[in-house]
Amino acid sequence: MLAVASVVVAVGTATGMLSALDDGRGADRAGSDVTASPSLERLPVVPSPSTSGTSAAPSPKKARPSASSAPRKTRKEPSVPVAEGLYRHPESQVLDWVRANPSDPRTPVIESRIADRPAAVWFTDYSPDTIPARVRAVTSGAAGQDRVPVLVSYAIPDRDCGGASQGGAPDLDAYDAWIDAFARGLGSAEVIVVLEPDSIAQADCLGAGQRADRFASLARAGRVLKAADPQARVYFDAGHSGWNPAGKQAELLRQAGAASAASSDGVFSNVSNFHTTSAEIAYDRQVLAALGGPASLGAVIDTSRNGNGAPNDGEWCDPAGRKIGRAPTLSTGEARIDAYLWVKLPGESDGCKGSPGTFSPSYAYDLASS
């Protein structure tokens, strides 16, 4: 996806997430193909299928222009213990690698610092017939462990504005039906849904009428998901602190229904990007203040690769010197910040260390040991 003045490296909106592609085998896996975000560039690239199932993650995109041209000092983020409440999906590219390489000297670090952490599960392909069962497999697995899964829906039409993560449903009517099917798999337990990374922050490529139609579908999606599972927590796309100004992003979010408790529990930011947690906290609070709506609205932040902040040169594709960020947790200790999540799975390439969305042990080791 393209974004002005920001970089997205993800998913999916994302990499470093769990993605679920249907290749006929029906296995959803953790991971993502997305690579660039607004400060660095665009958001996610569509996840690539893995050998033993389907894994959907955003693929790399061009780096988006940075909102600020002034160099910023790199700040290291303190680590936070993993919350007991988040669900770790048992299938992912990093887990496959760890299981297949027990004697590799990098394995202990990658296993303990990446593979053992809960990450998001991405659903990026348009497959309405199989999506209910695939979502249900994740949510029922999490419910059986009394954990909270993080799901990423990534099938909006004109996804990524024709960039590296292009794809999605053929039209909005088909997307609405896909969301209905997705919702049928949610169950009745608590679940976090990251709704369509880049779909709002990167809507400038659409005409006014197309944008209004997309936002109407997003508002509907939030209502459908929350009606299907009253414990579902649905978060809307706020881009990140290096992209749109908070006031502009809040206005777009309002048009997409993010200020309504019937559709939304708040916003998400920094998917597949590198901006520091402190910068995202400040930005998300500004967005929420400008957005209005119930005081209960909060924010979740992708901290998977932001331990050293965003590179000064704006590089978004597997940039050197980055580091995993705060561990996923539902207990942030910060007002209006509901969770730190790993939406993009560390070690899944943006497209420079390997094909978009594929796992690179050397990149994972660099992120986990730096």
Residues annotated catalytic, as ranges: 160, 198, 350
Calpha distance 65→185 (Å, rounded): 38
Burial 64-77 (b: 16+ CB within 10 A, else e): bbbbeeeeeebeeb
Composition of the chain by helix, strand, coil, percent to 5: 30, 15, 55
Please state the separation of Cα 148 from the chain's center in Å.
16
Position 88, amino acid: R
Calpha distance 52→221 (Å, rounded): 30
175 near 169, Cβ under 8 Å? yes
How many helices and strands, by DSSP H and E, does the chain display?
8, 10
SS3 255: helix
Strand partners, 30: 92
Using only C-alpha atoms, the chain has a radius of gyration, in whole angstroms, of 18
Calpha distance 264→285 (Å, rounded): 16
Strand partners, 301: 269, 340
Nearest of 241, 220, 243 to residue 38 by alpha carbon = 243
Calpha distance 205→253 (Å, rounded): 16
